[in-house]
Chains A and B, each alone.
Chain A
Amino acid sequence: MVAVAMVFAALPLWLGHSPYQMRIATLMLVLASYAVGFNLLFGHTNQLFLCVGALASLGGYTSVLLVRDLKLAPGLAVALATATSAALGGFLSYVSVRRGFGVLFVGIVTLAVSLILHNLLLGLRELTNGETGIVTRGLGLGLGDDPHRAYYAVLAVLVAALAGYRWLFSSAHGAALHALSEDEVSAELSGIDVTRYKVACAAAASALVGLVGALYADLNGFISPSVYAVGHVDIPVLIALLLGGVRTLLGPVVGAALFSAVDELVRPFGQLTVLAYGVLLVALFLVFRQGVVPLAERAARRGWMAVCRPARVDVSGPEEEVAGGIEAGR
């Protein structure tokens, strides 16, 4: 993880001269941060939140409106925006858990909430300017003025989130989360407070998404309901997570990088990007559900063993196969 942080920290030295490439790199980090949050929600606690974009828009609009209309300090506004998103995410999660919703109902409820928020943002014209959007220059921390500052700000958040993720899964809480993602009833019976874990995870992930949504509003210089729409945020996040690998530390980051690369390739074809998203999602879910990172890890482990302990390859080989088979079967 430290290596990845250093690679990303060094990236601007290479791309720094081109504002366009810096922007692409920053957007990639934004996507990766959303995906880290979504990984916690969907990957670890089986909560299919189809409202990542909505939570981000809540963060973005809250921070911008607090600064514009209530003249709050930008830092405070971003903090309040983060808290607002966390509250909404935690509330949705609490209600879903309490009502015993399965993955389908959580998906429908959160999708409906997304659309409600989208239509609210469109409809409350006096407040949000509707589809025209708001120019956010001068209404935030000033990330929009300097591409490098924007990049490092988002990178700091992403690295902090990854560190938090790593800490979580090296603690006893991580074991509890593993248990409840396998079987919630058994987890509950062995004394794990499933409701609390799910709600806490949802709130934490929503806080991350809201914070990054607020930073995005600042660094993008402009927000409108469509930049946070389901097709612009949730679908890329889902694809990036599946591509990189669900339930892994670096999966969201690797997936976001790959997705951004693919997105750049198909961007010249206009509406075909939507087609590409759809095909990618279907193809990934059908044939490649484990993602790049677990695949690479396994390949690396195998290569490592072949180099260091050639005598033991024969012993560990079949075990690896079995483990792979189980994972693929899941």
Chain B
Amino acid sequence: MGVVLDGLVLGLQLALLSVGIVFVYGLGGVLNLAHGQVAVAGGLVAAVLLQAGQPPFVGGIGGVLAAGLLALALDQTLLQPAYRRKGEERLLLALILTLGTSFALDGLFTFRFPNLALSLRVEPPSVELAGVRVRTASLAVGGLALGTFALLLLFLKGTRFGKAIRCIIQNEAGAWLCGVDVARARSATLFLSGALAGVAALGQGFFSYLGPDMGPEFTILSLIVAVVGGVRSLTGTFLASLLLGMVNALLSYWVGTYLTWIALLAVAVATLLVRPEGLLAYWP
């Protein structure tokens, strides 16, 4: 029972992490391989703020904002030359540029903060819920993720700007013809993706801890989810996150870490081979 709940919460975590990468791909035609590093940057900023004696609330908000701003900075500087190209060229250029960025950030983090870790503790460590002992951290992460998703949906479905963003994902040229400012929406999306990744990093801090070297792991996980869920579908991403989170929790419980990784990656490869648009992608 505890494992199932862990899986659910892990799935929500994965969703937070992956929605950003999917969004940016769907809207900008750019696969951000530095996505995990952006998340780690947010977590590290939060950790630094906490060490400086700030209250957890300020630290958390600071971390999320920092991750968003870092993604925005990427958008404004490195990705600009990529946006000027189209199709395959844009993908390739952005792929290599963000790959380089991810390595640069990884090197920077592990060099500058070799021993820093974000670890958020909640008291008491576990509570009794309907007869089952549940880790408070799981509840905190679940609540955090669900709250964030509620806000995201409100933004996407309720506001004009959110609708504009969804328009662009469906048809960029059409949206542009209707007067949507594509470049501005893209920047906003990058910021949003970074901020969501930052929330995921906080969640990781609640769950266990977040270290400076976890960027690649986050990037790979979000890539796997994006592939399985379909790189253009938000519903698919959400379903895939929950599924893979559950698989991850159950498998690491039964067979250990390495085999879990292999299984997750194999699912991604199999998806690409069988149904490249995403196993759980919904196509109207």
Contacts and interface: CB of A to CB of B under 8 A. Distances in A.
A285 interface: yes
A132 to B, nearest CB: 14
A112 B103 contact: no
Interface string A74-115: 000000000000000000000100010111110111011101
SS of A interface (majority): helix
A282 B220 CA distance: 20
A95 B273 contact: yes
Interface in B100-134: 100-108, 110-111, 114
Given A108-B223, A123-B262, A271 B107 contact: yes
Contacts of B220: 115
B61 interface: no
Interface in A258-279: 269-279
Given A102-B88, A102-B91, A271-B110, A278 B276 contact: no
B104 A279 contact: yes
A103 B258 contact: no
B93 interface: yes
Contact of B268 (A101, A112, A285): A112
Given A113-B269, A285-B96, A278 B261 contact: no
> What does DSSP make chain B's interface, helix, strand, loop or mixed?
helix
Given A116-B266, A119-B265, A123-B258, A275 B108 contact: yes
Contact of A104 (B95, B101, B273): B95
B259 interface: yes
Interface residues of B, number: 39
Contacts of A113: 269
Given A274-B106, A277-B107, A119 B261 contact: yes
Contacts, number: 112
Interface in A264-311: 269-282, 285-286
Nearest to B256: A123
B81 A286 contact: yes
Contact of B269 (A116, A279, A285): A116
A115 B81 contact: no
Contacts of A187: none
A111 B31 CA distance: 14
A116 B267 CA distance: 11
B110 A274 contact: yes
Contacts of B96: 238, 281, 285
A324 interface: no
A71 to B, nearest CB: 28
B167 interface: no
Contacts of A269: 111
A123 B256 CA distance: 9
A270 B88 CA distance: 36
B248 to A, nearest CB: 14
A157 interface: no
A103 B99 CA distance: 14
Contact of A109 (B100, B102, B106, B272): B272
Contacts of B258: 119-120, 122-123
A48 interface: yes
Contacts of B88: 102-104
Contacts of B111: 269-272, 274-275
Contacts of A95: 273
B144 interface: no
B126 to A, nearest CB: 31
B242 to A, nearest CB: 21
B97 interface: yes
Contact of B104 (A120, A122, A282, A286): A282
A115 B95 contact: no
Counting chain A CB atoms within 10 Å of each CB, which of B92, B101, B259 scores highest? B92
Contacts of B95: 48, 103-104, 107
By Cβ-Cβ distance, the 3 closest A-B pairs, closest first, are: A278-B104, A275-B107, A123-B258
Interface of A: 48, 95, 99, 101-105, 107-109, 111-113, 115-116, 119-120, 122-123, 231, 235, 238, 269-282, 285-286
